[in-house]
């Protein structure tokens, strides 16, 4: 038994904010900071923000329904649902329960995965395992990020603003979903390989401290941190010491990959990874310019938008590459 991506879907909230608008909201003019830093340092020009009545589960369900339709299925065909994101609706129960309720799926198994920006692709890996062990036939992996509500806007200190804001203000909201299905056709579309690793000694970098038992009532600690050099410095090594050996193991060269689908932290991070791999510019697809950094949803959105743009299609060879706080790294090779 092999697995494949049988359907994909995405959803972006209606509200769009420019980088200049979020800079003003964060107090750039009030604190005398130079405007344009967010765009210059990340490449993000616009991002989507959820409406006041939109929850993570609402966004994940909308993306999930699109993926189910794209797979030519009905919600009742789904055996398991995995919600993988940074943000969530509440501490308990698992956000996936409300996703399943919205979709109206009966008698399925569901659970959440929280692993920073790699939560969604980690969900793909687990879906692959559930199917290969005979516990499911069709698994919906979905993500709904509302990072705008974990974004700090009430800065009072210019130094902190300049240290944190340029990257943290590039985050946006959105949802993405894949249906993972079993397949017995070796020549058909399928997930070729998955590989994940944690570098646990870097766990203190990029921490969102609020919301856990360490600071259970400190809402002032519940916000996305700024640039973390210790993590971004790892991305070149991820490309050369993690992705390249994985390609070689599966008898793929860099040139064999039709499209690399990376985590969208900043355009310069993607560029450094591309250079480290010695890949062509047209082999990478970026969405940060119009969506910002949408956390764990980045790779799902990038894949869906690359498909919409005609960059990838049936038979395309893709490499999804994720780097996340923790530090966690992961990659998935697939033929669509």
- Structural domains of the chain, with CATH: 2-183 (3.40.47.10), 190-335 (3.40.47.10)
CB count in 10 Å sphere of residue 135: 12
Distances (CA, A) of 60 to 46, 64, 86, 140: 21, 6, 12, 10
Q: What sign does the CA torsion over 219, 221, 227, 230 have?
A: negative
pLDDT attached to residue 235: 66
Q: Whole-angstrom Cα distance, residue 313 to residue 181?
A: 17
Mean pLDDT by runs of 10 across the 336 residues of the chain is 96 98 94 93 96 98 98 98 97 97 96 95 98 97 97 91 86 98 85 94 86 88 76 72 93 96 88 91 94 96 97 96 88 96
Residue 34 DSSP code: P
pLDDT attached to residue 86: 96
pLDDT attached to residue 227: 61
Q: Whole-angstrom Cα distance, residue 158 to residue 215?
A: 25
pLDDT attached to residue 265: 83
Q: Characterise 114 by phi-psi region: left (phi > 0), alpha (psi -120 to 50), beta (else).
A: beta
The end-to-end CA distance of the chain, in Å, is: 17
Element (H, E) at 194: strand 190-198
pLDDT attached to residue 228: 65
Residues in a beta bridge with 115: 117
Return the closest-CA partner of residue 188 out of 1, 39, 4, 48.
4
Residues in a beta bridge with 171: 293
Return the closest-CA partner of residue 40 out of 146, 156, 162.
162
- Beta-carbon contacts of residue 226 (< 8 Å; ≥ 6 apart): 163, 164, 165, 166, 167, 168
pLDDT attached to residue 74: 97
Element (H, E) at 268: helix 267-277
pTM above 0.85, yes or no: yes
Asked whether the beta carbons of 3 and 127 are under 8 A apart, the reply is yes
Return the closest-CA partner of residue 166 out of 270, 85, 268.
268
Question: Residue 147: exposed, middle, or buried by beta-carbon count in 10 A (0-12, 13-18, 19+)?
Answer: buried
Return the closest-CA partner of residue 262 out of 237, 289, 235.
235
> How would DSSP label each residue in 280-315?
-GGGB---HHHH-B-GGGHHHHHHHHHHHTTSS-TT
Asked whether the beta carbons of 325 and 205 are under 8 A apart, the reply is yes
For the CA atoms of the chain, what is the radius of gyration? 19
């Amino acid at each position: 038994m092999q697995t494949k991506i049988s359907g994909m879907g995405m959803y972006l909230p209606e509200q769009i904010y420019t980088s200049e608008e979020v800079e003003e909201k964060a107090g750039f003019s009030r604190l005398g900071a130079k405007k344009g830093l967010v765009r210059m340092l990340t490449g993000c020009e616009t991002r989507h923000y959820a409406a006041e009545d939109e929850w993570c589960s609402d966004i994940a369900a909308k993306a999930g329904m699109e993926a189910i339709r794209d797979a030519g299925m009905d919600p009742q065909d789904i055996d398991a649902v995995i919600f993988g994101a940074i943000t969530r609706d509440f501490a308990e129960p698992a956000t996936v329960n409300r996703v399943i309720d919205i979709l109206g799926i009966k008698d399925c198994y569901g659970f959440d995965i929280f692993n920073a920006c790699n939560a969604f692709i980690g969900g793909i890996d687990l879906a692959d395992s559930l199917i290969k062990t005979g516990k499911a036939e069709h698994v919906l992996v979905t993500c709904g990020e509302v990072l705008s509500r974990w974004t700090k806007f009430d800065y009072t200190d210019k130094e902190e603003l300049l240290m944190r804001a340029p990257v943290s203000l590039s985050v946006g909201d959105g949802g993405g979903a894949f249906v993972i299905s079993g397949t017995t056709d070796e020549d058909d579309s399928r997930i070729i390989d998955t590989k994940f690793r944690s570098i646990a000694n870097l766990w203190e970098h990029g921490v969102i401290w609020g919301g856990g038992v360490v600071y259970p009532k400190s809402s002032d600690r519940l916000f996305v941190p700024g640039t973390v050099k210790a993590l971004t410095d790892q991305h070149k090594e991820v490309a050369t010491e993690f992705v390249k050996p994985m390609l070689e193991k599966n008898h793929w060269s860099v040139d064999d990959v039709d499209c690399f689908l990376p985590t969208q932290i900043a355009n310069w991070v993607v560029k450094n990874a591309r250079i480290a791999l010695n890949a062509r510019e047209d082999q990478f697809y970026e969405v940060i310019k119009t969506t910002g950094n949408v956390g764990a949803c980045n790779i799902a959105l990038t894949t869906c938008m690359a498909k919409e743009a005609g960059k990838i299609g049936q038979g395309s060879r893709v490499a999804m590459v994720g780097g996340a706080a923790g530090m966690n790294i992961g990659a998935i090779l697939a033929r669509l």
